[in-house]
Chain A
């Protein structure tokens, strides 16, 4: 009986002492954390993709709260306004959402190959081997590095050996842009804008030998465009998205079908 009482009371006393100690320590050593970090983190996508350059979404949230990163520092986050509200700053959301766009239309069927490549399935590796298997030194190598690095599974390789971006899934994080050894991917406004799907800066005859759908720099599109949105430099056409009204005149007249995109009110704007 005596043993029981002493053991229980000893434990009780010890419990009180440790409890007091812990309570004191908790007060004294408490880490003050800005509650906004949790709030901001909750508003971030939570995919921990790392595209922002910080270690995951928590790192991004800390950086935003510390003021070292902008409220729209997350390239994936579609709307930074709630975060701006938490931080108490003004923020105007950009007008258009961006998505990745592969600016090459020369797949297996269109672009000629110089030799058969049978090595590592990686575009940078293919590029190192004599500059890549394709005749065109600007076009897509088709080994699918962009598809494999995409953290959101937004890119798949088509049967024709070209990457296809699903605009719904794409968050414009820009990881694929960095992974492409030929810098073919750019972040352009969503909705499939009218774009020249070619980056070949060679002269027309050389392009024709390399690829059926390459831009030959003929300038027909420049004449067609009512908005003067198209310019040709280095035998390569480029369209200013600010000026383009997606009338589609250039698409129909391009002799190599190098220009593609979604046309609004086809025929109406041209006439």
Chain B
């Protein structure tokens, strides 16, 4: 069968068998949750509570600040024991609200179903709901969802695409969610279609998840939604790749998907939206995959936002031997971490523990000009030249060769036989360019 996809990219060993057939388990609520005020792109939320307050499950404890921001809700019922800087995934200390769990799980009174008809809802109403629910993009970037739907009238949206590609190796949280909760996902997408004023929805899934495709195909019956199986290839789940695969539209460089009439959301975001409308539950928990060869019992888990890494890892039987590397998110776009007192955040899709044998210390060498990175780059850049320019700090040339269009998918660094840390070089150079531009403007 001919499958839709994009040009270039790389074929990765999936490693999904560790967890792909395991049903989602619910992690018992932890003794303590740490909720950083900055779990999303944009301004940090402003706390509404103070130390010593009692909060109920689902109560809003921090309000969105400014244009791009999202509120925060209590993920356990209990007492606020601290509002102080705590370790954050970014490596710095970030102000967080710490709640001591009283184990009652008593819901706040404002939690009630919204009785929203997805075919009749108003766009503003849905946007307000998205904001109230504290929704952010749950694929990893954590961009506040309601901001995405803040559209200008001269940019009509034709399609809303739900991203269920899950192209990163090891991760299976979206896969399990699609298999287990297809109706909620479809409900969420119907509301999103209404909010965007779009006529058609797509749910894009890699063909290596036939059970998810079948489940969603059953769930979309009777709605203007199409399930699109695509080739299992990395980075299929990248926004631009998925738009091209589903609609053949190409997002211009530097533009947002709305410029070609498309909005992309993660399936988990659609699920969280449906949860809020149908049962009143704001974003207080999420599905993560705990996996890798360095963990005793890999699992798909529903965890409360703010649960510490060590609590999750203990529930999964702890480390198998000495861990080589602990990564939050997928192996290609995730970030390696060195401490276990970090909280699971809204955008954390998984914990990957690699063994020491899987993380050999390799020294990068000079570029051997094989051109493999050129064949891999899905954005048609020339990582070989870009790498040389970045290495020698020729920032203007790197910019001329389009380093700002790099989306840091990591394909080039993965295929490089010289083990050059290309993606990191580009990220570094991009930051330098952006910093210089900010200085001059």
Contact = CB atoms under 8 A, between A and B. Distances in A.
Contacts of B91: 129-132
A128 B432 CA distance: 11
Interface stretch (A92-100, A117-125, A212-220): A117-125
Interface string B326-361: 000000000111110000000000000000000001
Contacts of B156: none
A125 B337 CA distance: 16
Interface string A138-166: 00000000001100000000000000000
Nearest to A137: B92
Interface string B415-441: 000000100110110011000000000
Contacts of A128: 427-428, 431
A114 interface: yes
Interface of A is mostly: loop
A125 B335 contact: no
Nearest to A122: B428
A130 B428 contact: no
A201 B435 CA distance: 25
Contact of B428 (A114, A120, A148, A149): A120
Contacts of A125: 424-425, 427-428
A131 B336 CA distance: 13
Contacts of B424: 119-120, 125, 129
A119 B335 CA distance: 13
B53 interface: no
Contacts, number: 36
B1 interface: no
Contact of B361 (A118, A122, A129): A118
Contacts of A118: 361
Interface string B399-425: 000000000000000000000010011
B90 interface: yes
A115 B339 CA distance: 9
B124 interface: no
Contacts of B338: 114-115, 130
Nearest to A123: B428
A6 B15 CA distance: 90
Nearest to B363: A118
Nearest to B359: A118
Contacts of B117: none
Contact of B335 (A120, A130, A132): A130
Contacts of B90: 130-131
Contacts of A119: 421, 424
A79 to B, nearest CB: 31
Interface in B217-268: none
Nearest to B420: A120
Contacts of B335: 130
B92 A131 contact: yes
Contacts of A120: 421, 424-425, 428
A119 B427 CA distance: 12
B428 A124 contact: yes
A149 B91 CA distance: 27
B84 interface: no
A101 B304 CA distance: 50
A124 B431 CA distance: 9
A234 to B, nearest CB: 17
A75 B64 CA distance: 49
A148 B393 CA distance: 10
Interface string B155-177: 00000000000000000000000
Interface string B302-344: 0000000000000000000000000000000001111100000
Most buried by B among A114, A120, A125: A120
A120 B337 CA distance: 17
Most buried by A among B337, B424, B431, B432: B424
B187 to A, nearest CB: 39
Contacts of B92: 131
Contacts of B393: 148-149
A244 B133 CA distance: 61
B1 to A, nearest CB: 41
A194 to B, nearest CB: 33
Contacts of B361: 118
Interface string A105-121: 00000000011001110
A118 B413 CA distance: 14
Contacts of A124: 428, 431-432
Contacts of B432: 124
Contacts of A129: 91, 424
Interface string B84-123: 0000001110000000000000000000000000000000
26 contacts: A114-B338, A114-B339, A115-B336, A115-B338, A118-B361, A119-B421, A119-B424, A122-B425, A124-B428, A124-B431, A124-B432, A125-B424, A125-B425, A125-B427, A125-B428, A128-B428, A128-B431, A129-B91, A130-B90, A130-B91, A130-B335, A130-B337, A130-B338, A131-B90, A131-B91, A148-B393
Of all A-B residue pairs in the complex, the 9 with the closest CB atoms, nearest first, are A130-B91, A115-B338, A125-B428, A131-B91, A120-B424, A119-B424, A119-B421, A120-B421, A120-B425
Interface of A: 114-115, 118-120, 122, 124-125, 128-132, 148-149
Given A124-B431, A131-B91, 20 more contacts: A114-B338, A114-B339, A115-B336, A119-B421, A120-B425, A120-B428, A122-B425, A122-B428, A124-B432, A125-B424, A125-B425, A125-B427, A125-B428, A128-B427, A128-B431, A129-B91, A130-B90, A130-B91, A130-B338, A131-B92
